[in-house]
Chain A
Amino acid sequence: MTNREMKKEKETITNRERYQRTFSALHASGKDVMEVTTMKQRGKIRIGKLATACMAFILVLGLTSAAYAADIGGIRRNIQLWIHGDQTDAVIEIENGQYSLTYEDEDGTVQQQSGGGIAFDWKGKERPLTEEEILEELNSPDVQYEEDGSIWVYYFDQKIEITDKFDDQGVCYVQLKNGKDTLYMTVKYQNGYATSPHSYPSPRSFN
């Protein structure tokens, strides 16, 4: 293309064409959802939806339990498991994105749970969850609605009652601490929750 032709092309390009060419240089990162902890949505209701739709990852986890990893090292790990509001020792084994949990229930009976998951980026590439991701998921907070009407948040070794902390709109804001890390959690009564390390997620942003 000659200089004259180039000059003419510049003269004839419209504002819209130039604008579209300029802003087509911007691209969403498309980063793996698991790498982003800014917003994570999970809950009794939500797990099923995530599992079927595979947005973040499929997680097959006992819905009445929350766990936190207490021992790091090797594929077989000792963890603490929240079962019906009580902390219980358990062993977790992880391999190829699958895990199995073994623990004794309150009657002394050995119980087993297993599950696993996959992660995939927004471009559709699939892979099994890594050991770190499974443990990260186990370490994320969980909300439990008990039969007596009380509502609890379980996070690492903490058990926080939030029954009376909901506002008129049925929304509760909880600040969770783990060492130096702070997590801001917004809970909608019987309607899921979201967390962020930066600020309380807007109730409008989920469910």
Chain B
Amino acid sequence: MSGATTAAAGASTATGTRRPFRFGRWFRATGWRHGVGVVMSIFAIFPLLYVLSASLNPSGTLISANALFSIFDFGSYIELFDLPQQPYAAWYGNTLVIGITTSVCTVFLGAMAAYSFSRMRFVGRRVGLLAVLLVQMFPQLLAVVAIFLLLNGISDIFPAIGLDSQIGLIMVYLGGALGVNTYLMYGFFNTVPTSIDEAAKIDGAGHARIFFSIILRLVAPILAVVGLLSFIGTTNEFVIASIVLIEPEKQTLAVGLYQFVSDEFSKNYSIFAAGAVLAALPVMALFLYLQKYIVSGLTAGSVK
């Protein structure tokens, strides 16, 4: 760690005995780092403050949003839920429902696959793992046209899971369940010693019992990470949601807010900002709360 210091700040840091405070020395050692930190923090946080301030300024237009924090008024937040054309509350609910369902199912499907890859030896296991790795290189949105036409065809037969159906959309998302997630979980499953399984097996536990009541508990952190990443991914997903969900009542926040703001960008900026703040809150809260796990998950993903 101190090496990075020396690397960046130079060898001028031969500290040891207490010496009187001198600004020059302090600045060369850590002061300039604070300078960088402050600049970067402003860069990082400014757009977020801007959108928060815009949301609290109910006069609404883009130009009035430039006067930062001149007014504190929650009018836009109330108006947001009264828009006749834009059912914000429905979008919010849909996003939560689709996001939670998708992430729970993704975690479950991925964990099952990871369990079999990690604990069982069978023909095609290596190929399967390679396929899982390969598949994640080709995200579903590349085949968005085919997804649209496939769901269009499904709606002729089963309208309940075809176009303009949230179940259909969730099913499409689950197509990506065995991608990078499985690989992440596979790595983590491998860190759980197999002696635990064997002990349970000797005690008479079946494979299902080992999976559900032993392994799943031991790998809970990675399940949380995958679930959260999948939830964030689904919340941010625009391409497929925008072509599958047609009725405004069924759309998600990404689709709805985009259309709202592209229709009348400068006019209703304050309402959009309020919608954005509310939409971002749960994701950001979860993210910061689980930050440690997510970071470990991010690096573990490819580093093994």
Query: A and B from one assembly?
Result: no
Give residues in B with beta carbon < 8 Å to A: none
